[in-house]
Structure 1
Amino acid sequence: MATADTHSTARLEDVAALANVSLATASKALHGKPRVSEDTRERVMEAARQLNYSPNKLAQSLASGRSGTIGLVTSDLQGRFSTPILIGAENELRAQSTSVLLANARGDDALERSHVEKLLSLKVDGLLIVQRETNPRPSLGRDWGVPLVYVYGPSTDINDCSVTCDNVDAGRMAVNHLISCGRNRIAIIGGDETYTASTDRTKGALEALAEVGLEPAGPIRYGRWDENWGRAATRLLLDQGVKFDAVACQSDQLARGCIDALKSQHLRIPEDVAVIGHDNWDVLTKSSRPPLTSIDNETELIGRKAARYLMDAINGQPHHGTEYLPCRLIQRESTLPLD
């Protein structure tokens, strides 16, 4: 006897029952309607994922006048930060039965605008504009006929909706963690000073030091985000006789270079010098010896939140301004507390 395929026959009633909500609440949650709590929305989305629930897209489109698709334009399709943002956005949109059309602008402003125009010709319901870095970017304007949400690189127009990470708080978080490990001579190695990620992290780090009456150990120097600069900046600290017991590096690559330079001088990590990085890049943090403590930008969460805000705007509940989402500390063995 043939058995029913629940993955192909799941109904809205099934989703509502599994999530333990009413039919109306399940429908509102799935379609991004307002007046549904975040906890309830997540429960309904998870039930839909478990059941592989897919509403009748044609019927929905005819009833709502919407295509059920959004456009996503990224400046860097293969980027270290773009990929998890895309995954987060796609997961959120898929849970809301919305498809994604992807375009790669490759950092070209003219190509970005061309992609936007092309996606609009395909009748997308809204657009996510994803940048490869957190530097503020010019607005594309609001005359497109559909809502736009800027992701990672916020729009300079406060009337637009943007979602990014809080780099100031991340810098503060890194230094506070080192202080909690018993360190009080903390050096800072910055990335490229033309990036707001670097200057914002420095701002937060200096604020955290000032709150406990400390100053950075040695001058703050900026350079490339790579291991070579991490090594060179650390050697400068050592050659100039700067006394330090911790280094806050603004990227994991800088931290790996820093650790190399410290080890070359027979300094132990973390016993002699604690080191923290930023980005939580697995290929660097977990292979480091010792494993590297780092700050995670929560880029997948940024993608999910941006997609949710776009759906809110499509449903008549737009958000304005920039939301700065908190980063997350991932402690490993490079910053163990002093005995």
Structure 2
Amino acid sequence: MPEPAGGFEKRSRPTTLRDVAELAGVSIATVSKSLNGREHVHPKTRERVLLAAEKLRFAPNSLAQGLLTGRTGTVGLLTSDMEGRFSLPILVGTEDAFGTDSTSAFLCDARGDAIREKHHIRALLGRRVDGLIVVGDKTDPRPSLGQTLPVPVVYAYAPSDDPSDISVISDNVQAGRIAAEHVISCGRRRIAYVAGDITYAAARDRVAGAVDALQAAGLELLGGEALYGAWTEEWGRGAMRTLLTRFPDLDAVLCGSDQIARGALDALRDLGRSVPYDVAVMAHDNWEPIATQARPPLSTIDMQLELLGRRAAELLFDAIGGNVQPGIHTVSAKLVTRGSTALA
């Protein structure tokens, strides 16, 4: 068979560390250290190795690297609320963080079923994932998976009930405080609160934060307490009508969610009250399909769930690397102002 043009041998096999070492004029061990960013390699030597690897189009074998490091470059994401409006932004933020580190994610939905969750955990561990992120469907603490799993675990949105675990949560008390401070800064003084389901920690925490802010300003909620109900527009409409009957001169309403707030807007419009001139309406969650399409668009509190997901991924990466940071890590909320509130 005639020799290829130029006298170079055609490669019929993948490029190896040995090939890179021969081209760079160094040992295989030096190539491995250079490509893995290890110390004790002279910068000029590392540069020579990298140039050789690039010239040969060398791609490290991920399986071989995993055997050397004990890692597979994969992470399990376990959620109980794949259709939920809170889980998905968290998962997006988590996967964004994984993408920057060339980490693959296996996504499983336990659907709130403890048996299904255990099955998914066994399956993920069978795939030799390097760690797990467990995403809750509400902010109430959830049972810990325990301390016997062979990989690190980070709990996102719903904290673990074990303080020795790693958990990342939204600061709902701060969120309630920011919401109340905003309407107070708009000159409102007769302020009511329409909250969500009282069995949810998020509903109670948001009210607690709002009450703190009102007390700091020498104010209190109309009626002395929040009205708790459901996370629905229907509840928002009904509660708003009740409030206007009891307190016809109220000038602001804090709502536990965007859905509740949009229902409140409907009731105010039906009863001839102008928003924000007669009554300012403040919401929570910044669910854009709801908040931006409301009439007028809703001022609301963004819980920064994608940031929460990224933070969970960062903590997991740190734990995989041996830097475990147990306890509860909190992500701050952010005010988003739109047309439903205005300075007096």
TM-score norm. by structure 1 comes to: 0.83
Q: Distance in 2 between matches of 1:324 and 1:260?
A: 34
| 1:319 aligned partner | 325
| 1:228 aligned partner | 234
| 1:282 aligned partner | 288
| 2:165 aligned partner | 160
Letter matched to residue 106 of structure 1: R
| 1:205 aligned partner | 210
Q: Distance in 1 between matches of 2:60 and 2:141?
A: 38
| 1:113 aligned partner | 118
| 1:146 aligned partner | 151
Q: Any idea what the Cα deviations from partners look like across 1:118-153, whole Å, max 9, x if unmatched?
A: 111111111000011111111110101110000100
Q: Distance in 2 between matches of 1:130 and 1:222?
A: 26
| 1:263 aligned partner | 269
Please give the residue correspondences for 1:75-154 in structure 2 after superposition, counting only pairs within 5 Å.
Answer: 75-154=80-159
Larger-gyration structure (1/2): 2
Q: Secondary structure in 2 aligned to 1:333?
A: coil
Q: Any idea what the Cα deviations from partners look like across 1:1-23, whole Å, max 9, x if unmatched?
A: xxxxxxxxxxxxxxxxxxxxxxx
Letter matched to residue 127 of structure 1: L
| 2:25 aligned partner | none
| 1:182 aligned partner | 187
TM-score norm. by structure 2 comes to: 0.82
| 1:193 aligned partner | 198
Q: Is the 8 A contact 1:217 1:243 kept in 2?
A: no
Classify 1:231/1:63 alpha carbon distance in 2 versus 1 (closer, same or farther; 3 Å).
same
Letter matched to residue 239 of structure 2: A
Misfit runs of 4+, over 4 Å: none
* Residue 336 (structure 1) aligned to one of 331, 337, 342: 342
| 1:241 aligned partner | 247
In structure 2, stretches of 5+ residues that fail to align are: 1-32, 39-58
Q: Distance in 2 between matches of 1:322 and 1:243?
A: 42
Aligned residues: 291
Measure how far apart 1:27 and its partner are: 6.8
Q: Distance in 2 between matches of 1:206 and 1:310?
A: 35
| 1:71 aligned partner | 76
In structure 1, stretches of 5+ residues that fail to align are: 1-23, 32-53
Classify 1:152/1:55 alpha carbon distance in 2 versus 1 (closer, same or farther; 3 Å).
farther
RMSD after superposition: 1.8
Q: Is the 8 A contact 1:217 1:242 kept in 2?
A: no
